[in-house]
Amino acid sequence: VADSGPGNQLAGGLATRLATGLAAAFPADLLRTSDADRARYETDHRRRYHGRALGVALPRTTDDVSRLLAWCNERGVGVVPQGGNTGYCGGATPDASGTQLVLCLERMNRVRSVDAPNLSMTAEAGCLLADVQAAAAGAGCFFPLELGSAGSCQLGGNLATNAGGLNVLRYGMTRSLVLGIEAVLPDGRVYEGLRALRKDNTGYDLRSLLVGSEGTLGVITAATLRLWPARRSTATAFVALPSPAAALALLQLLRGRCDDRLESFELLPRIALELVRRHVPGTASPFAEAPPWSVLCELASPAIEPLGELLQSVLADALAAGIASDAVLATSGSQRLALWAVRENVPEAQKRGGPGLRHDISVPVALIPRFVEEAGAELARRVPNATLVGYGHLGDGNLHFNLNWFAGAAPGEVEAAELPVRRYVHDLVAAYGGSFSAEHGVGQSKREELARYGSPVGLATMRALKRAFDPNGIMNPGKVL
């Protein structure tokens, strides 16, 4: 960024001219341009990606977004949409040129309506996920998207990344929770697709295309969401197990006996529990001594049902069959939250634990035990100073297959390991028929992976769609494709 070569001087001159034009065209209240005001929008939450923005636009209305995009489109100015900036792929960080506008939706945070009889609600893109959940609950309904970042990520970011999370097993990814969408296209036109219909077979599905487009096709300004009746019964347990194969056997047992009452099934290795205990004070440990593997599972239902008894009986059978070695059931709402806090604090504990590399992989669920064994053994051989922390959404076949250097790393050691390790892991994932990005998206960190593993026909079609939506290439340049 500090480079003062001719290219940078050129970009610097352009940035100054654009900043002057932007300031003349829009009220000062809409823009943040000082170094201090821009700073938090120019770096991702892991401090892995750093950029320099032309400015940060903070629109209050869809019309503001429309005018900002039209202005940028006429001048070929790149626009980087941003929500809560909690993403893992650098998708919301501008480049270092100082010529891209960050457009953050944080002020568009109104829940427009909740329609309990229709089990739907409409909210603006800048609403915190936690506020969307609370608004649904306030109307006696349930919005099932649940992420550890719920208090800071925004609905628009959830849609743009097609976020997964902790309840995918029962409700699917974000795409399956969306009925309608409002988005501003790069030339400023507004796509008004806020329908609350369950059935609507009228041509191409633009809503599904915009969900998961990571800010490369337009700016999502609002969405109509599917709701479910509020849950009236839940049962939650932490279960100790000897292996991922045993966890898979427990998953099959639970699905067979509880059907779609099973909402969550999260796998944690011993190291994950230890990390949380060490780095997140105040988090209760489910077991006196962390077992080799554990599962956090939850049953839920809108009916008043004895789910605790059901879960207990399945777990008794799992213990008798040697699938599980111990289990802790939540007996109150606060105990349930304490068990969930252990799981939700894993990413933060891992971040505090030391430098590392992340992989967000999925393979067919039944192949998870074989994958963990094969990849775990090979990584121990290739990077002996690193510890594997492979945890996550086993019920969906999705693990965060991360590595950490807990004893610290020599200068450059993690960086040197990054590419070869990534290549090994993602090649193996491809051989298992899996995905190199199960739920976090592509952003800038996995662009090369998409080019390498994506279907050529699929990629060509994506490029054609990108040109159709965004012929001037202003939307989130350098991301995804």
Taking the complex as a whole, the smallest distance from the CB of residue 2 to ligand FAD amounts, in Å, to: 26
Taking the complex as a whole, the smallest distance from the CB of residue 327 to ligand LAC amounts, in Å, to: 22
Give whichever of 165 and 291 is closer to ligand FAD, judged by the CB atom.
Answer: 165
User: Is 81 a binder of ligand LAC (CB under 6 A)?
Assistant: no
The correct pick among 347, 353, 356, 478 for binding ligand LAC (CB under 6 A) is 347
Q: Which does 349 bind (CB under 5 to 8 A by kind): ligand FAD, ligand LAC, none?
A: none
Give whichever of 163 and 386 is closer to ligand LAC, judged by the CB atom.
Answer: 163
Taking the complex as a whole, the smallest distance from the CB of residue 357 to ligand FAD amounts, in Å, to: 16
Q: Which of 85, 72, 82 is nearest to 104 (CA)?
A: 82
Tokens of 434: 């899996």
Q: Helix 6-25 vs helix 62-75: angle between axes, to the nearest 10 degrees? A: 140
**For tokens 């050129």, what's the residue?**
10
User: Is 91 a binder of ligand LAC (CB under 6 A)?
Assistant: no
Q: Which residues bind ligand FAD (CB under 6 A)?
A: 45, 80-88, 91-92, 105, 125, 147-149, 153-154, 156-158, 160-161, 163-165, 214-215, 219-220, 347-348, 439-440, 443, 476, 479
Q: Helix 244-258 vs helix 307-320: angle between axes, to the nearest 10 degrees? A: 140
The correct pick among 148, 215, 218, 477 for binding ligand LAC (CB under 6 A) is 148
Tokens of 192: 């008004």
Q: How many residues bind ligand LAC (CB under 6 A)?
A: 5
Determine the distance from the C-alpha atom of residue 273 to the mean position of all C-alpha atoms in its chain, rounded to a whole number.
22
Q: Which does 400 bind (CB under 5 to 8 A by kind): ligand FAD, ligand LAC, none?
A: ligand LAC
Taking the complex as a whole, the smallest distance from the CB of residue 186 to ligand LAC amounts, in Å, to: 29
**For tokens 């594997």, what's the residue?**
388
Cβ contact 167:265 at 8 Å? no
**For tokens 């006196």, what's the residue?**
288
Q: Sheet holding 178-184: strands in order across?
A: 111-115, 120-124, 219-226, 178-184, 190-193
User: Is 392 a binder of ligand LAC (CB under 6 A)?
Assistant: yes
Give whichever of 347 and 477 is closer to ligand LAC, judged by the CB atom.
Answer: 347
Cβ contact 150:128 at 8 Å? yes
Cβ contact 166:296 at 8 Å? no
Give whichever of 156 and 478 is closer to ligand LAC, judged by the CB atom.
Answer: 156
The amino acid occupying position 417 is A
For residues 156 and 164, give the distance between their C-alpha atoms in angstroms, rounded to a whole number. 14
Taking the complex as a whole, the smallest distance from the CB of residue 421 to ligand FAD amounts, in Å, to: 21
For residues 237 and 315, give the distance between their C-alpha atoms in angstroms, rounded to a whole number. 9
At 89, give phi and psi (nearest 5°): -120, 15
User: Is 269 a binder of ligand LAC (CB under 6 A)?
Assistant: no
Give whichever of 182 and 396 is closer to ligand LAC, judged by the CB atom.
Answer: 396
Determine the residue with CB nearest ligand LAC: 347
H/E stretch holding 298 reads: strand 293-301
User: Is 207 a binder of ligand LAC (CB under 6 A)?
Assistant: no
Give whichever of 226 and 400 is closer to ligand LAC, judged by the CB atom.
Answer: 400
Tokens of 31: 């823009």
Q: Which residues bind ligand LAC (CB under 6 A)?
A: 148, 346-347, 392, 400
